[in-house]
Structure 1
Amino acid sequence: MIDQGSGAYVMYLDLFKGFGLKDQDFTKYDSPLLSFDGRVVIPQGQISLPVNMEGKEVMVTFIVVNLFSSYTAILERPWIHTMGAILSTLHMKVKFRTKYGVATVRGNQQVAQQCLVATIRWKDEQAKHKEIVEKAPL
């Protein structure tokens, strides 16, 4: 996901492990983050990795967090500027210049909807679990 208002480059732990990276691959990151739902999140660490999109590569330092998300990573506004990109959330497209011309990366509306549904279902399950825990006899 590309979030124009995000204050951090975020990588979720599932993607970090999916790359075959280990805990010793990231460096310490001490500042807590605030999640989309307002909770304080303590990061696992940070790691710098190249992000290659359509042949244009930029080094990005990601903060690694162990949270559920239907996304794998969040890129913030400075990435958009570094890429010289133009972003349209309405059209789910990012355009930027490469040495071969203008590249267009298209999002997928169906996948975006699936991410939204997965997030809503996860939140519903969390709410049900919380109710069960609160109603459990001591």
Structure 2
Amino acid sequence: MSMARLPVEADDRESKKAKGMASPIIGFSDEDKVGTIQPHDDALVVTLRIGGYDVKMVLVDQDSAMEVMYPDLYKGLKLRPEDLIAYDSPLVSFEGKTVTPKGLIRLPIQIGSDIVKVDFIVVDAYSPYTAIVARPWLHALGAVSSTLHQKVKYLSEGRVKEVIGDQVVAWQCMVSTISRQSSTEPSTIAEDGL
């Protein structure tokens, strides 16, 4: 008795085709806005596990080409100058001043079971944020961010996973920046001698 059987190659193609059809797609819809305050112009500020610690006030900036770490996080992680690799390309701070970095350090960022190592440029400058994660992190994770929806989405273990932004913290960071600018800018009243 003989049975007809498809060649192995055809079985593999069908299996791959079925798997490809089941692959989730990363996207955003109006449902992703549920739980956010709309309309808004808030930055996307999240909490991430960096170097083994939960770090709040991390700005997700898809327009930036590098990850940046500010003094509070540097001190909080108990990093020392000898932990840093030399890096001397100047950067421009939030206040518009040129800043020479203290150095560079490679640290893991963990979300659930997903870990991506990124290079942080360490600067000694004011920022309302503890760190900025940028395109290198987003691309390494295969993530897409949306400030409108206040989320970062990425594929992991065959599912779309999310990191949700915190609009209250984003607002606090903005207020901190505005307050700092107001206190450092000379008053026109004082200049006029009134």
Task: Give the TM interval when normalised to the shorter protein.
Answer: 0.7 to 0.9
The DSSP-based 3-state class of the residue aligned with 1:80 is: helix
Q: What SS is found at the alignment partner of 1:30?
A: coil
Structure 1 residue 39, shift from structure 2 partner: 2.0
- What amino acid maps onto 2:182 in structure 1? D
Partner of 1:11 in structure 2? 69
Which residue matches 2:162? 104
Aligned pairs for 1:62-81 (under 5 A) are 62-81=120-139
1:120 to 178, 186, 190: 178
Structure 2 gap ranges (5+): 1-58
Whole-angstrom distance in 2 between the partners of 1:124 and 1:55: 42
The 8 Å contact of residues 54 and 103 in structure 1, kept in 2 or not, is answered as no
Decide which of 30, 36, 39 is 2:97's aligned counterpart.
Answer: 39
Partner of 2:112: 54
Indicate the RMSD between aligned Cα atoms, in angstroms. 1.9
Which runs of 5 or more structure 1 residues have no equivalent in the other structure?
none
SS of the aligned residue for 2:121 comes to strand
* Residue in 1 that maps onto 2:80: 22
Residue of structure 2 aligned with 1:91, choices 113, 132, 149: 149
The 8 Å contact of residues 93 and 125 in structure 2, kept in 1 or not, is answered as: no
Count how many residue pairs are aligned between Structure 1 and Structure 2: 132
Q: Which moved more, 1:98-107 or 1:23-32?
A: 98-107
Residues 94 and 126, structure 2, Cα contact 8 Å, conserved in 1? no
Q: Which secondary structure does the structure 2 equivalent of 1:119 belong to?
A: helix
> In the TM superposition, what is the alpha-carbon distance from 1:128 to its structure 2 partner?
4.2
CA distance in 1, matches of 2:94, 2:182: 16
TM-superposed CA distance for 1:100, in Å, is: 6.3
2:163 partner amino acid: V
TM-score normalised to the size of structure 2? 0.63
Pick the structure with greater CA Rg.
2
